[in-house]
Amino acid sequence: MAHIGPFFFNGVRFLLGSLVLLPLAWRWAPLPRASRLPLLRVGLGTGLVLFAAAGLQQAGLVYTTAGNAGFITGLYVVLVPLMGIHRRQVVGRLRWVAVLLAVGGLYLLSVQAGFSINPGDALVVGSAFFFALHVQIIDHISRRHSALWFSLVQYFVVALVSLLVAFFTEPIELGALRSAGVPILYGGIGSISIAYTLQVVAQRRAVPSHAAILLSLEGTFAAIGGWLILSEVLSARAALGCALLLAGMIISQVAGLRRTPMLDTPVPSAS
């Protein structure tokens, strides 16, 4: 974010991730003609949700720290089971305790004196909502489509919409793109073509709440990475907020393990 805008960054890295994945999908996952239109439809919808999640998170990083962004994004571990209510996924007392802990942690981490909230943290809270929605959508449709092609379509959607927004709202400079080359390569290949695709593959057999707790480790790795690479330091108040958020995430997962063991049965692949 020191070199290029958030939407330009997302557009380039998602496009790079798509291009890396394309020959793999073409070679190892032949797509039947009858599956193409349904795949495009679901990929478009899921891609727009992922665009909102990734865009809000990246924009938030302009105004907040990597550690804060990682822990706040982890709120989706609490939001995922709450969103599952409409799919008849049980939300018990432990999960409501987890919600209270997470809200308390978010307050300590993000709300400043005078009850003002860091604008970057507010944007990341919005991204957490869309990441939670993304987890639920993938759980609902990932078994019906090829994981590689589904991932490819949603990445192209994120790339195109992000580049379109960047064209109208951010400076587009090739020199700045070269300056941010290493993060773009990592973000495009490591984060997009590998990590996001593994999420789609894994969620064919993982309960949404279980997947969310594993993905919420992003907060821990973000805090460690911010400390090691960016020299970020948490205040005592922020550290307590992170601890409450982490406690809420763990309690939410314990509730999921107690209530949904039968959902861990592997589901046959649809591709």
Q: What is the pLDDT of residues 80-120, one digit of tens each?
A: 767 766 666 555 677 777 777 877 777 776 666 555 677 88
What integer pLDDT is reported at residue 271 of this predicted model? 34
Q: Which two tokens stand for residue 201?
A: 């593959």
What integer pLDDT is reported at residue 164 of this predicted model? 96
140 pLDDT higher than 80: no
Kindly report which listed range (21-25, 132-136, 202-206) carries the lowest average pLDDT score.
Answer: 202-206
What integer pLDDT is reported at residue 68 of this predicted model? 77
Contact yes or no for 161/44 (Cβ under 8 A): no
Is the pLDDT higher at 201 or at 168?
A: 168
Give the number of other CB atoms < 10 A from CB of residue 263: 16
The mean pLDDT value of the chain amounts to 78
As a whole number of angstroms, the distance between CA 51 and CA 69 comes to 17
What integer pLDDT is reported at residue 259 of this predicted model? 53
Q: What is the pLDDT of residues 206-252, one digit of tens each?
A: 766 667 667 766 767 777 777 788 787 777 877 887 788 778 777 76
Is the pLDDT higher at 86 or at 54?
A: 54
Confidence of residue 261 (pLDDT cuts 50, 70, 90): very low
As a whole number of angstroms, the distance between CA 227 and CA 207 comes to 32
Domain boundaries, the chain: 6-260
What integer pLDDT is reported at residue 264 of this predicted model? 36
8 pLDDT higher than 90: yes
The whole-model pTM stands at 0.74
Give the number of other CB atoms < 10 A from CB of residue 224: 13
Q: Reduce the DSSP state of residue 116 to 3 states and report it.
A: strand
As a whole number of angstroms, the distance between CA 213 and CA 155 comes to 23
Residues sharing a CB contact under 8 Å with residue 7, sequence separation 6 or more, in sequence order: 55, 58, 59, 162, 163, 165, 166, 169, 170
What integer pLDDT is reported at residue 121 of this predicted model? 85
48 pLDDT higher than 60: yes
Is the pLDDT higher at 159 or at 197?
A: 159
What integer pLDDT is reported at residue 263 of this predicted model? 37
As a whole number of angstroms, the distance between CA 158 and CA 6 comes to 13
Q: What is the pLDDT of residues 146-187, one digit of tens each?
A: 778 888 899 999 999 999 999 999 988 888 888 888 889 988
Location of structure tokens 């046959």? 268
Sequential DSSP letters for 28-54: H----HHHHHHHHHHHHHHHHHHHHHH
Q: Which two tokens stand for residue 33?
A: 């003609």
As a whole number of angstroms, the distance between CA 194 and CA 89 comes to 29
What integer pLDDT is reported at residue 262 of this predicted model? 36
